[in-house]
Amino acid sequence: MLESLGTSSHDEERQGESYAPLVADSQNYRKKFYIESYGCAMNFSDSEIVASILNDNGFGATANYEEADLVLLNTCSIREKAEQTVRSRLHIFRQVKRSRPGMLIGVLGCMAERLKEKFLQEERLVDMVVGPDAYRALPVLIGEAETGQKAVNVLLSREETYADISPVRLDSNGVAAFVSIMRGCNNMCSFCVVPFTRGRERSRDAISIVRECQDLFDSGYKEVTLLGQNVDSYYWIGEEAAGMAGPGSATDTVVTFAALLEKVALIDPSLRVRFSTSHPKDITDEVLHTMARHENICRYIHLPVQSGSTRILQLMNRTYTREWYLAKIDRIRAILPDCGLSTDIITGFCSETEEDHQDTLSLLEYARYDMSYMFFYSERPGTLAARRYKDDIPEETKKRRLDEVVKLQKKLSLVNNCADIGKIFEVLIDGDSKRSAEDWKGRNSQNKVVVFPKAGGSYQKGDYVRVKVEDCTGGTLIGTALLS
Ligand code: SAH
Ligand code: SF4
Ligand code: F3S
């Protein structure tokens, strides 16, 4: 039984407990580092910032940890299982360190922030513990660790956005990239550890975001995904003319998320723009209308609901009711009739009854999501739920309910995909199909994976191709390219 399951093949991109070692870069560095990332896209994006800082300090990436001088794990605390995965990876790295005592092991990210100094007591042979807002201090911390001291920096910041650091895209397909637009989270969903591990919400300078997206486009990228825990609360006040106006003056420009989306969409019509994650309470009509105005803002919204029961939503502190959420879905469908939708679900939250669970199932049917990320509840120390409510649903009930949600979502995904048979989509090719190098793989605007045979066309990665859908599975549309 899997703890989490996306019913589409793109599940590993978000909060899965997966990792991707960065591939080796140039050999001209003094030392080598190896990094593995776990958790959400924000963590993967942070690893690219870390790579940039390390490159500037004489460390080049290697994909082989056995030859690394510095091994880093960028960790996730979202569920207990995510932390267990990290601990079992650490066992392996400690073995290597035994035969190469000079090798340094550093733990970065959310688990570092959650456990702080305790990490060093719990996990021997870890040399550095560095929280998500302290990556600029890495060179100093490495220096300390090289002299045999244990190095810890878990200070959270109200300002840090790493706006001026150009991420190093080492593990990229050269087509799609993540761009972080904000950090932290001010919501207090009672089940969630993120506000504790990532700190207060802060928005990144809009000018630096647009510049990063423009640079990506200029170097051949065709898709950017704007990242934040709650993108709709993006809010940045900039000065119209630097040095001319002080904060609060009449010449200040306010950039909302809708305005930012538009600025990025205007870079070029052939640059696709995506974003994640939208909180149902904050996504506005203005955002939906901005999407409708620009065809290159993809028709896809990830709108986590968590539960279909108003009572449970209240305990989760999500601040909306079932009816309010359903009205939001109606609004999206009215403004963007062809919009793809996905969600996150937690089963077995504190006190969840069979009736609450049935409410979740019926909400899924109503929303007709294309896919869902589904989890059973995992109590996280220090969260509001851990302090206030009893984790009283037996694990087998949590898992059985998860199983039912997964089964229903699989059915809905298949029905939705079958309804696409006969349609023509513009697909951005991002690589070979996983199953066969004879087929291309890409995505349509709705974020569905589309595969089609290479034969008969001369396309390459990064091309847009019109594909007619002829068949499907629950996770993939299968078609042929239309030669035009
Ligand atoms: N900011 C994003 C979510 C980040 S965490 C948002 O608001 O949507 C991603 C997902 O992990 C959450 O949406 C939730 O479904 C799940 N999750 C978070 N904490 C969890 C916990 N304690 N147990 C199980 N699943 C959890
Ligand atoms: Fe966690 Fe809620 Fe913030 Fe998402 S919005 S990161 S679920 S507290
Ligand atoms: Fe995990 Fe931290 Fe992201 S807890 S989901 S890596 S913000």
CATH number for the domain spanning 297: value is 3.80.30.20
Amino acid, res. 74: N
Q: Could you give the residue ranges of the DSSP H alpha helices within 183-267?
A: 194-198, 206-218, 257-265
Chain centroid, CA 239 distance in Å: 30
**Ligand 1 nearest atom to the CA of residue 187, by list position:** 7
CA of 28 to the centre of ligand 3 (A): 33
* Same domain, residue pair 368 and 399: yes
* Domain count of the fold of the chain: 3
* Same domain, residue pair 146 and 67: yes
pLDDT at site 19: 53
pLDDT at site 12: 32
pLDDT at site 11: 32
Distance CA 387, CA 379 (A): 10
pLDDT at site 414: 98
* Same domain, residue pair 377 and 472: no
**Ligand 3 nearest atom to the CA of residue 82, by list position:** 1
CA 110 → CA 78, 130, 203, distances in Å?
Answer: 8, 9, 19
CA of 101 to the centre of ligand 3 (A): 30
Residue 166 maps to a domain: no
Q: Whose CA is nearest to atom 12 of ligand 1?
A: 344
Residue 43 maps to a domain: yes
CATH number, domain with residue 476: 2.40.50.140
Looking at the CA of 3, name the nearest ligand: 1
* Same domain, residue pair 386 and 290: yes
Residue-number span of the structural domain to which 268 is assigned: 176-418
Domain end marker among 96, 122, 153: 153
Domain end marker among 388, 403, 418: 418
CATH number, domain with residue 40: 3.40.50.12160
* Same domain, residue pair 234 and 89: no
Residue 161 maps to a domain: no
Does the beta carbon of 47 sit less than 6 angstroms from any atom of ligand 3? no
Q: What is the DSSP string of 275-293?
A: EE---TTT--HHHHHHHHH
* Same domain, residue pair 234 and 92: no
Residue 162 maps to a domain: no
Residue 54 maps to a domain: yes
Does the beta carbon of 110 sit less than 6 angstroms from any atom of ligand 2? no
Residue 217 maps to a domain: yes
Looking at the CA of 373, name the nearest ligand: 1
Of 35, 74, 186, 194, the one to substitute when testing ligand 3's pocket (max ligand atoms within 8 A of C-beta) is 194
* Same domain, residue pair 233 and 147: no
The tens-digit pLDDT sequence of the chain (484 residues) is 333 333 232 333 334 444 555 555 556 799 999 999 999 999 999 999 999 999 999 999 999 999 999 999 999 999 999 999 999 999 999 899 989 989 999 999 999 999 999 999 888 889 999 999 999 999 999 999 999 999 999 999 999 999 999 999 867 889 999 999 999 999 999 999 999 999 999 999 999 999 999 999 999 999 999 999 999 999 999 876 444 445 555 567 899 999 999 999 999 999 999 999 999 999 999 999 999 999 999 999 999 999 999 999 999 999 999 999 999 999 999 999 999 999 999 999 999 999 999 999 999 999 999 999 999 999 999 999 999 999 999 999 999 999 999 999 999 999 999 999 999 999 999 999 999 999 999 999 999 999 999 998 899 999 999 999 999 999 999 999 997 6
* Same domain, residue pair 412 and 441: no
CA of 194 to the centre of ligand 2 (A): 6
Q: What is the DSSP string of 127-150?
A: -EEE-TT-GGGHHHHHHHHHTT--
Looking at the CA of 85, name the nearest ligand: 3
Distance CA 255, CA 105 (A): 40
CA of 461 to the centre of ligand 1 (A): 33
Residue 103 maps to a domain: yes
* Same domain, residue pair 236 and 278: yes
Does the beta carbon of 276 sit less than 6 angstroms from any atom of ligand 3? no
pLDDT at site 317: 98
pLDDT at site 25: 56
pLDDT at site 9: 29
Instruction: Choose among 12, 161, 17: nearest CA to 77.
Output: 17
* Same domain, residue pair 336 and 394: yes
Pocket, ligand 1, Cβ cutoff 6 A: 15, 78-79, 191-192, 194, 229-230, 277, 279, 304, 306, 344, 346, 375, 377-378, 380
Distance CA 143, CA 145 (A): 5
Residue 163 maps to a domain: no
* Same domain, residue pair 127 and 200: no
Domain end marker among 153, 185, 206: 153
* Same domain, residue pair 132 and 250: no
